[in-house]
Amino acid sequence: MANYFGTDGIRGEYGKNLTAKIAFSVGNALTQIKTNPKIIIGHDTRTSADVLTLSLASGVLQGGGNVVDVGVIPTAGISFLTENEGFDYGVMITASHNPPAYNGIKVFDSSGRKLLDSEEEFLENFFSNNFISEKSGKFENGKAFQKKYIEHLIGSTDIDLGGFSVCLDASNGSSFAIGPRVFETLGAKVNKIFCKNDGENININCGSLHIENLVQKVLETKSKVGFAFDGDADRVLAVGKSGEVFDGDKLLYILANFMKQKGLLYANSVVGTSHTNSGLMVGLNQNKINLIRTDIGDKYVIDAMDKMNLCLGGEQSGHIIIKNYAQTGDGILTAIKICEIMKKTGKNLEELFDAKLIPQTNININVKDKIKVLNNEELKILTNKIANEIAPAGRILVRASGTEEKIRIMIEHPNKEETQRYADQIKTLIEKI
């Protein structure tokens, strides 16, 4: 049995390691776990989204389940609707920040949470060629459900953004229509970039992975703030009026401090990951806020939040979870809450962030077999050597991507030149393996 699920659902290049047959199998398997389930499906703007949506829906229908297709919507919209509209499962067809040739499948349970690793393994056990053909379910166009998610976003705040200039980069993805609509309804003047959908342009030189475009737009329009989403809008990065970039760590810090001041931060604690900048932890501790680290992947962040009854967590990549409003990362919601803080404090992002981050060097390396690379003894020796040399002031993290065939390297140290030198050493070795 192949291991289909990674750290964020099933992910792969369409037609190669992600096919219509796999999508059908996922849909059919859900009906074998729960009898006659009601399942909501949404997708981003990729060309392959339609065939994967229809294939997964066919698997559900053939197993006797009922399907509601809401069309193009952010991942957080599927999570919200699954939890609040009585669905047994929610499925999002998306490859998040990956290129257009890729796609993926994210599955949510009835509470709006991504499946746990054990649940994904359980689901995979049903993958077979023995599909149920004698049953049939009902298919429904559910685009009207999009309005419920939009109302949820607008209702998450009491602020009026009249006179507030905001730039939005939708990465030509699932937020291309909903994002501007929400901010305009809240009264903001919206300057849009990469809000067009042709099926082939999602994440291409735009969005949160290419923040330089938003920086330029913010400066050109003299906007108060800008937000860049990824393809399914579950992550967001921000740009301040000066052009400074605010990643997930910085946004988490701003949210945590504001929520603590308002008495809204449960146990005065937030959840980050092993990748969260150590300088952030120092800054939070100075403000009497605890940082709890977990594995990389927003589902692991949410799991830790659930276990400790916490309400705020996030990743450096821009996945921010505000549990009072969402069960998964919601880029649009996070952007609204950041604007709310700016509006209520009268401060810009540059004024709201006062922590001192430790320089980090991050490198992503394409490989053919990431497990083989990680198990290489020479790489283990070099990694341990570097870890000993930079301790205690610095740290190193070498890991396999959970969504791509890549090795990700993070080195953190007060001396930025040293971090780059060490990162180059590891990169050179990996490229030889």
Whether residue 128 is predicted with pLDDT greater than 80 in this model: the reply is no
Q: How far apart are CA 16 and CA 104, in angstroms?
A: 12
Tell which residue, 402, 430, 396, 259, has the closest CA to residue 317.
Answer: 402
**Residue-wise pLDDT tens digits, 413-424:** 999 888 889 999
Whether residue 176 is predicted with pLDDT greater than 80 in this model: the reply is yes
Strand partners, 69: 41, 141
Higher pLDDT, 130 or 119: 119
State the fold for domain 5-148: Alpha-D-Glucose-1,6-Bisphosphate; Chain A, domain 3 (3.40.120)
Q: What percent of the chain has pLDDT over 90?
A: 85
User: What pLDDT, on the 0 to 100 scale, is given for residue 405?
Assistant: 85
**Residue-wise pLDDT tens digits, 289-348:** 999 999 998 889 999 999 999 999 999 999 999 999 999 999 999 999 999 999 999 999
User: What pLDDT, on the 0 to 100 scale, is given for residue 332?
Assistant: 98
User: What pLDDT, on the 0 to 100 scale, is given for residue 401?
Assistant: 86
**Residue-wise pLDDT tens digits, 7-53:** 789 999 999 999 999 999 999 999 988 889 999 999 999 999 999 99
Tell which residue, 88, 12, 73, has the closest CA to residue 43.
Answer: 73
Give the sheet arrangement for strand 89-93, strand by strand: 5-6, 9-13, 102-108, 89-93, 38-43, 66-72, 139-141
Tell which residue, 231, 211, 243, has the closest CA to residue 96.
Answer: 231
Q: What is the mean pLDDT of the chain?
A: 94
5-148 shares its CATH topology with 155-352:
yes
Catalytic residues: 96
pLDDT-derived band at 211, boundaries 50, 70, 90:
very high
User: What pLDDT, on the 0 to 100 scale, is given for residue 162?
Assistant: 94
Q: Which helix (H) or strand (E) holds 56?
A: helix 49-62
Q: At what angle do helices 331-345 and 248-261 cross, to 10 degrees?
A: 50
> In angstroms, what CA-CA distances link 218 with 87, 125, 239?
40, 49, 7
pLDDT-derived band at 124, boundaries 50, 70, 90:
confident
Q: What percent of the chain has pLDDT over 70?
A: 98
Tell which residue, 180, 192, 17, has the closest CA to residue 105.
Answer: 17
Q: What is the pTM of this model?
A: 0.93
Where do the structural domains in the chain lie, given as residue ranges? Answer: 5-148, 155-352, 360-432
User: What pLDDT, on the 0 to 100 scale, is given for residue 139?
Assistant: 93
Whether residue 430 is predicted with pLDDT greater than 60 in this model: the reply is yes
User: What pLDDT, on the 0 to 100 scale, is given for residue 130?
Assistant: 61
DSSP H helical segments within 222-352, as ranges? 248-261, 278-286, 298-308, 331-345, 349-352
User: What pLDDT, on the 0 to 100 scale, is given for residue 205?
Assistant: 96
User: If one looks up domain 360-432 in CATH, what number appears?
Assistant: 3.30.310.50
pLDDT (average), residues 117-130: 77
Whether residue 82 is predicted with pLDDT greater than 80 in this model: the reply is yes
User: What pLDDT, on the 0 to 100 scale, is given for residue 129?
Assistant: 59
User: What pLDDT, on the 0 to 100 scale, is given for residue 1?
Assistant: 43
Q: How far apart are CA 229 and CA 209, in angstroms?
A: 9
pLDDT (average), residues 138-147: 94
**Residue-wise pLDDT tens digits, 336-374:** 999 999 999 999 999 999 999 999 998 999 999 999 999
pLDDT-derived band at 196, boundaries 50, 70, 90:
very high
Whether residue 133 is predicted with pLDDT greater than 80 in this model: the reply is no
Whether residue 240 is predicted with pLDDT greater than 70 in this model: the reply is yes
Q: Are 426 and 386 in contact (CB under 8 A)?
A: yes
Beta-carbon contacts of 94 under 8 Å, excluding residues fewer than 6 positions away, are: 43, 44, 46, 49, 75, 103, 104, 106, 174, 231, 232
Q: How far apart are CA 338 and CA 334, in angstroms?
A: 6
Domain 155-352 sits in which CATH superfamily? Alpha-D-Glucose-1,6-Bisphosphate, subunit A, domain 3 (3.40.120.10)
User: What pLDDT, on the 0 to 100 scale, is given for residue 116?
Assistant: 81
Residue type, 46: R
Q: Which helix (H) or strand (E) holds 195?
A: none
Q: How far apart are CA 428 and CA 88, in angstroms?
A: 48
Whether residue 127 is predicted with pLDDT greater than 80 in this model: the reply is no
